[in-house]
Structure 1
Amino acid sequence: MAAVEWPWQYSFPPFFTIQPHNETRAKQIAAWRSLVLDYYRATKQSTLDVAEAQRSELFNNSSIKRKLPQEGIIMILEDLARTGNAEALDKQKRRWLVYWHTLDEWANILYSWAQNSGMTNTVCTFYELVEGDSTADEDFHGLDTEVLVKALQKLEGRGKAEVIMFDDNQGVKFF
């Protein structure tokens, strides 16, 4: 897991209070968007539970004793959803998937890897894709299976892959 590089705003107490002025708030949310995506990429995480988020180092800077309120976390997640970088997993918007690449970007990354590594017309297990030695240097190595499946479904919709179930394994055939 890579170290998280905190931006200067992370040590600035007002960053943890949603700003009332529209222009300032827009800049604040953009900074949060970048921070959340960088954090999730560095930590290889994909799921966020809003109730637990305030206890994470991402939204709680203990060194300045500040944490972002839940309303702020939800505001940022909704902004990420508008850019294709997050998706609510329930109607109450309590659990989210966070994508440091959009699903379309993940689909393109996976397909490029399959083409470049000669894996078209071959079946790969999900384990091989996210845990295999041949993908150790790839951005999708360690990717959450739920995100992987959603990206592969995008490829399926384009006719570039087929998700396959066999025994207790899941795999994909790239075309």
Structure 2
Amino acid sequence: MAETEWPWQYDFPPFFTIQPHLETQNKQISAWQSLILCFFKNNKSYILDIREAQNSPLFNNSKINRKLPQDGILKILEHLHKSGHAEPCDKSKNSQLHYRWFIYWHTLDEWASMIYDWAQGNGMINTVCTLYELVSGDNTVNEEFYGLDMGILMKALRTLEMQKKAEIIMFDDNEGVKFL
């Protein structure tokens, strides 16, 4: 895990309580969103489980003995969802509380664009690539999508499929993608 540089708010106790004044709350939520996205990017993490979140240093500042409550975490996740930076892992309509969330430090459109730009730049158009090659191959080691969660990769590739820039295919019991 990478060392996190905490913003000044992280040591400010009211930061861990969702503020009632709307303007202050909006600034606070914006600061939390930036912090969450930076934290997940630095740690190459992709899933947040609300039930375990308060054990994470992200939401638990032991130095000032403060934790962001679960309802505060959920409020921030809902804002991240509106901006395309988070999505519940469980798409069930019956669940009133989604516990596990994908965190997209890049939106799905941004991930899709990065992957397609890589494919174009490396002469992979009209070529089939395995999903493993994309996220673990020698040709992608220096790419930001190297090590990307397979669930997020599939969502990004489906975005490319909808844009008619890729086709997800099955071959020899493997999943792959053909860039168009």
**The one of 97, 103, 112 aligned to 1:98:** 103
**CA-to-aligned-CA distance 1:146-171 (integer Å, 9 cap, x gap):** 00000000000111001112233221
Q: In terms of mean alpha carbon deviation, does 146-155 or 90-99 score higher?
A: 90-99
SS of aligned partner of 2:178: strand
Structure 1 residue aligned with 2:63? 63
Supply the AA of the counterpart residue of 2:50: V
Structure 2 partner of 1:164: 169
Cα separation, 1, equivalents of 2:9 and 2:2: 20
- Report the Cα distance in structure 1 between the residues aligned to 2:75 and 2:53, rounded to whole angstroms: 13
Displacement, 1:145?
0.4
Q: Secondary structure at the match of 2:129?
A: strand
Q: 1:114 aligns with which of 112, 119, 137?
A: 119
Return closer, same or farther for 1:56/1:168 CA change in 2, 3 Å cut-off: farther
Which residue identity is paired with 2:169?
I
Long gaps (5+) in structure 1: none
Corresponding residue SS for 1:4: coil
Q: Aligned runs of 1:1-175 on 2, under 5 Å?
A: 1-90=1-90, 91=95, 92-175=97-180
Q: Report the CA distance shift for 1:9/1:169 in structure 2 as closer, same or farther (over 3 A).
A: same
Higher deviation after alignment, 89-98 or 12-21? 89-98
Q: How many residues align?
A: 175
SS at match of 2:87: strand
Separation in structure 1 between the aligned mates of residue 118 and residue 7 of structure 2, nearest angstrom: 31
Unaligned runs of 5+ in 2: none
What is the Cα deviation at residue 89 of structure 1? 2.0
- Provide Cα deviations, 1:112-134, integer angstroms capped at 9, x if missing partner: 11001111111111111111121
TM-score normalised according to structure 2 size? 0.93
After the TM superposition, which of the residue ranges 128-137 and 108-117 deviates more from structure 2? 128-137
Change (3 A) 1:12 1:168: farther
What is the CA distance between 1:44 and its match in structure 2? 0.9
State the TM-score, normalized to the length of structure 1: 0.96
- 1:171 match: secondary structure: strand
DSSP-derived class of the 1:155 partner: helix
Q: Secondary structure at the match of 1:37?
A: helix
